Amino acid sequence: MSSRIDVCVLDDEAAVAVAAAGIFAELLRRRPDAVLGLATGSTPEPVYAEMVRLHRDEGLGFARARAFNLDEYLGLDGDHDQSYRFFMQIHLFDYVDIRPWNTFVFDGKAADPEQECLAFEAKIRAVGGVDLWLLGLGTNGHIAFNEPGSDPASRSRVVTPDAETVEANSRHFADPAEVPTEALTAGVSTILDGRKIVLVALGAHKADAVARAIEGDRLPDCPASLLQGHSDCIFLLDRAAASQLS
């Protein structure tokens, strides 16, 4: 089957951020109580900076929005400076009018992580599903913490990130040995259930994963290629990330 993924190649990081934030802004203006799906990592940082600017300068409102995050490290408290909850607070939540009780990030310290995953899925169902997921991309093709080999039918669960992912993420930790070896993640199916998906990728180090996701076979060995099965998915890329597309 040919890929149904839409591709938009932009000049640079700033243009990608404006485009991605613009898609969220359009949704929020049309539907103020939209259900947002959010990602962490270096790539979404400028996207959140642009959302904050839209809130500050153009009155973009988040007061009725609900937000679910893709993943979290198991074992890290939300106050830990490398937790994804902390990331969301300092890059978005603390600077817009989203209500704290409408932000859902897995609790990395949950006493029962499996139950935490079931509760996350139940909360998404209770609000009628995610309208728009923002995704980043791992160099090995992972989405959230769905590593190569992930079941296309997978739901939220506890996973062990690949060595390549732990290595890539260790750049954020003072001591690489501190990178948690387990994580909670939305499943492939949890993501594919979203009504729209926007994946952002920046830089030449993502080019191979981008090409495999869009032009490769739709197989679990490149989890992002499973997005080919979604009817409303767009990749927003800078030129470097798009450089291996034919």
Q: Provide the annotated active-site residues.
A: 71, 140, 142, 147
Helix 84-91 to helix 45-58 angle (10° resolution) is: 40
Quick check: 142 and 224 in contact, CB under 8 A? yes
102/169 with CB nearer ligand GLP = 169
Residue partners of 208: CB distance under 8 A and separation at least 6: 139, 244
Q: Is 136 in the site for ligand GLP (CB under 6 A)?
A: yes
Name the β-bridge partners of 196.
132
CB of 212 to ligand GLP, least distance (A): 15
Binding part of the chain for ligand GLP, among 26-34, 61-69, 122-130, 131-139 by CB under 6 A, reads 131-139
Q: How far apart are the first and last CA of the chain?
A: 17
Q: Is 39 in the site for ligand GLP (CB under 6 A)?
A: yes
In this chain, which of 14, 32, 42, 181 binds ligand GLP, going by CB under 6 A?
Answer: 42
22/203 with CB nearer ligand GLP = 203
In this chain, which of 17, 35, 55, 71 binds ligand GLP, going by CB under 6 A?
Answer: 71
Reduced to 3 states (helix: H, G, I; strand: E, B; else coil), residue 212 is: helix
Binding part of the chain for ligand GLP, among 9-17, 105-113, 136-144, 213-221 by CB under 6 A, reads 136-144
Helix-, strand-, coil-residue percentages of the chain, each rounded to 5: 40, 15, 45
CB of 205 to ligand GLP, least distance (A): 8
Q: Identify residues 141-180 at the interface with ligand GLP (CB under 6 A).
A: 144-145, 165, 169
Quick check: 9 and 239 in contact, CB under 8 A? yes
Count of residues of this chain found to bind ligand GLP when the rule CB under 6 A is applied = 13
CB of 32 to ligand GLP, least distance (A): 26
Q: Is 36 in the site for ligand GLP (CB under 6 A)?
A: no
Q: Is 191 in the site for ligand GLP (CB under 6 A)?
A: no
Residue partners of 137: CB distance under 8 A and separation at least 6: 43, 143, 199, 200, 201, 206, 209, 210, 213, 224
In this chain, which of 16, 28, 35, 41 binds ligand GLP, going by CB under 6 A?
Answer: 41
Strand order, beta sheet including 157-159: 71-73, 183-185, 157-159
Residue, CB closest to ligand GLP: 136
Q: What is the dihedral of CA 67, 191, 39, 71, to 10 degrees?
A: 90
Q: Which residues bind ligand GLP (CB under 6 A)?
A: 39, 41-43, 70-71, 136-138, 144-145, 165, 169
